[in-house]
Amino acid sequence: MPEDDSLDSVDSLINQLKSIPKATREVDQVEDALTKENLEEFILKHTGNLVKQASESVTLVRDYVEAAPNAEEVTALAELIKATSSAVESLNRILITDKKTSTAIKIKEMDNKSRQKELDAVVGLKLRSTREELMKQLINATVIENTPELTND
C-alpha cells in the first residue's frame, strides 16, 4: 500500500504541475521585421511589457522574501527592483524626449509665424512709404504743359 500512496502523490504532483500555466510563452513565428517605421512602436510595446512583468516579479519576489528572508533573496530582490526602475526610467526618457520634440516643433512654428508677421509688416510699411513718396513727388512736381506747336504748312 505504500506504493499506492507514493503513486497517488506523484499523480497529484503531476496534475498540479499540469494545471500551472506555462511560465514561458512561445514566440510568435510570424513576428514583423523591425523597420524604421515600426521601431518606435516596437520599443514602446516591449519596454511597457518589460516594466509590467518586472513590477509583477518584484511583487512576487518581495512576498517570497518577506516570508523567509535570507541574504541571497534580498540581494536578488534589490537587483530586480534596480532593473525595474531602470526600465521605468527608460520609458520616462522616451516620454520626455517625445514631449520636448513636439514642444520644439510648436515653438519653431510660432517663431516662423512671428517672423512672417514681422516681414509682412515691414513689406507693408515699405509699400506704404513708397506710395506716399510717389504721391509727394506727384504733388511737388512741376507741371509741364504740353502745348501743341502750330506748324505752318
Residues 6 or more apart in contact with residue 51 via CB below 8 angstroms: 84, 87, 88, 91
- What's the pLDDT band for 53 if we cut at 50, 70, 90? confident
Instruction: State how far the Cα of 78 lies from the Cα of 60, in Å rounded to an integer.
Output: 13
The residue-averaged pLDDT of 50-70 equals 83
pLDDT at 26: 47
What are the grid coordinates assigned to 104, written together? 520644439
Torsion of Cα atoms, 19 then 24 then 25 then 28, to 10°: -150
What pLDDT score does 153 carry? 54
Query: Which band of pLDDT confidence, cut at 50, 70 and 90, is reported for residue 22?
Result: low
Q: What is the pLDDT of residues 82-133, one digit of tens each?
A: 888 888 888 888 889 989 999 999 999 999 999 998 888 877 767 777 777 7
Q: In the prediction, which pLDDT does 9 show?
A: 73
Q: What pLDDT band is residue 31 in, cutting at 50, 70 and 90? A: low
Q: What is the pLDDT of residue 110?
A: 94
Q: Provide the whole-model pTM.
A: 0.47
pLDDT at 150: 64
What are the cell numbers at 37? 517605421
- Residues contacting 57, CB < 8 A, separation 6+: 80, 84
CA pair distance 18, 95, nearest whole angstrom: 41
